[in-house]
Amino acid sequence: MKVDMSGIAAPAPAKASAPRYLFLDVARLLAAIAIAWEHTPESPSLVRTSYLGGFAVPFFTLGAVFLLFEGMRREPARAPLAYARARFYRLYLPLLVWSLIYILARDLKGLVLHRPLVTPNLGMFLTGAAHHMWFLPFLFILSLVLFWPARWLSRARSGTRIGVAIFSAAIGVVIGCLPFPDVYHMITEEHVAFFLDRAAAAAPAIFLGAALGAIYPLIPSRLLRNTAMALLGLAICVACIAVGYLTHTRRVGFENAAGAGFFLFGLAPWEGAMIGRTATWGKMAFGFYLVHVLFIEGIQAAAVRAHIQPSAGLDVAVFVGTVAGTLPLVRLLSRARLTRWLIP
């Protein structure tokens, strides 16, 4: 409460409400589905098309950094230990449980296909028992590291924000243009090497997200969140992925630029009943990301058992079956009282 000159208590100004990023949840759903395709193709005719989902992880990375900076700007008094504890419960605890689930699922797969069983090791529980799970510990570490810069920036003046935005964007662009390091020749432990390799690939998006988080409060919303900017972002995403695909390269710069373009697309101010319903599924994007490989490997294992050879038709069937199975399962888990915590 504030007190005016007459001594009468006046109510404190209301806290600004957070902007609605409704379509961003739709974009998250589309990106999660793109990752499912990235992990699906095995046939010679379609295996290269897995690159078409390369924009998704940079998109999620940039979005996570941007939302961290925005959240800290609106709540700069967050307690560090409480924040770290909340992130651990949301990201790392589900990782441990899903790691056990994947180990059991792959042991079952090994029994069905008469292959060796999985030998658990510490790396599986640090970075995830399945390769795609690296993203959760990556987000956990990233959020803890960026907590302090985001907190400092929440109290910074406009000039400082502009400087941070320019500096961060420049670093992101430079990293995207540098030769990609060969982590596997430096580290022998497979899970740790894979984690560092994927983290390095997403590094440009970290700095691009910090740049956007720094400059965003200074840009009038109508200049950034409009249909023209959304379509421009989508065009950038499609162009960068197309160039990478057609030139037979997996350049980190193209993937991160595509992810940044898709994030601009996700900032579109579009709303409506259909978008609202779709957005509810997009809120479970990380859950989809965690679960979908169970369906991919399960269906592919069944195909091997049935002596079905890899083909384009099988790839499409695996993808459709994966999406159709993962979405309702994640929805069910997120609604059940005992399992909702497993869906970040």
Q: Which domain holds residue 237?
A: 25-342
pLDDT, mean of residues 151-179: 94
In this prediction, residue 18 carries a pLDDT of 58
Q: What is the phi/psi pair of residue 133, to 5°? A: -75, -5
Total domain count for the chain?
A: 1
In this prediction, residue 252 carries a pLDDT of 87
Instruction: For residue 19, name the pLDDT band (cuts at 50, 70, 90).
Output: low
Q: Is 202 part of a structural domain of the chain?
A: yes
Q: Is 2 part of a structural domain of the chain?
A: no
Check the CA dihedral 6-11-12-18 and report its sign. Answer: negative
Check the CA dihedral 244-248-249-250 and report its sign. Answer: positive
Q: Is 13 part of a structural domain of the chain?
A: no
Q: What is the pLDDT of residues 210-248, one digit of tens each?
A: 999 999 999 998 899 999 999 999 999 999 999 988 887
* Selected residue with higher pLDDT from 269 and 19: 269
Q: Is 1 part of a structural domain of the chain?
A: no
Q: Is 14 part of a structural domain of the chain?
A: no
What CA–CA distance (Å, rounded) separates 75 from 15?
10
What CA–CA distance (Å, rounded) separates 127 from 135?
8
Instruction: For residue 184, name the pLDDT band (cuts at 50, 70, 90).
Output: confident
Q: Is 257 part of a structural domain of the chain?
A: yes
As a dihedral over the C-alpha atoms of residue 155, residue 160, residue 161, residue 163, rounded to 10 degrees, the angle is -160
Q: What is the pLDDT of residues 261-271, one digit of tens each?
A: 999 999 999 99
Q: Is 205 part of a structural domain of the chain?
A: yes
DSSP string covering 29-50, please?
Answer: HHHHHHHHHHT---STTTGGGG
In this prediction, residue 7 carries a pLDDT of 42
pTM greater than 0.85 (yes/no): yes
Q: Is 66 part of a structural domain of the chain?
A: yes
